[in-house]
Structures are given as C-alpha cells and as structure tokens.
Amino acid sequence: MKVYLDDERPTPDGWVSARWPEDVISLLKSGRVTHISLDHDLGDDKHGTGYDVLKWIEREVATASFDPPEISIHTSNVSARQKMQLAVSSIKRFTGK
C-alpha cells in the first residue's frame, strides 16, 4: 500500500489518502505500507505534521526493529523539507538501507 499524507494536494492514483499523522502511523502499524509520501504542513500544527510521522518511524526503527517503507517528501516548506530529509537520513543509517 502507498500512503499519501496531505491536506490540499490531490492524492495520486494508486495511493491511499491520509489527512493526519496518526492516520499514517495507524497504517504503518498494519505492516502493509510499502511507500509513504509526506507533506509537512497539514493545516493544524497542534494536530501534527509530516515530520511527526518520521519521528515515529525513527523511534520504531531504533527500538523495535521496524522495517520502514520507502519514504518520499513532497512538502513545499523548504526549512521543514531539510529537517525531514535529515530524519530520513537517520532512518536509513539505522536500517543500513
């Protein structure tokens, strides 16, 4: 399953739409997600951002041997993109992928 986290952009064909970080995390816990594409700004920072998904993945990879999906970032927020890419690099270091 491919999961697309965004609040404004249309979900690409073949992807499952997610609105909030907890939606993505719930799907990740199912073990069926092969790809995720993340936006950062979701319209309610108190509710979470795409970066929160990456923090969850990083923690699970480090502490629970979680096998992460392929990760893409499609946010337009330049500073958040850099932070998110650093998290992806950290996840890759943990997994050796």
Q: What is the residue extent of each domain of the chain? A: 2-95
At 32, the amino acid letter reads: R
- Please state, as a whole number, how many other Cβ atoms lie within 10 Å of the Cβ of residue 69: 20
* Dihedral (Cα; 71, 7, 55, 37), 10-degree rounding: 0
* Dihedral (Cα; 83, 70, 73, 58), 10-degree rounding: -30
CATH superfamily of 2-95: Response regulator (3.40.50.2300)
3-state per-residue secondary structure call for 21-56: HHHHHHHHHCCCCCEEEECCCCCCCCCCCHHHHHHH
- The pTM of the full predicted model, rounded to 2 decimals, is 0.95
Section 43-65 average pLDDT: 93
Output 15 or 96, whichever has higher pLDDT.
15
Q: Tell whether the model's pLDDT for residue 97 goes beyond 80.
A: no
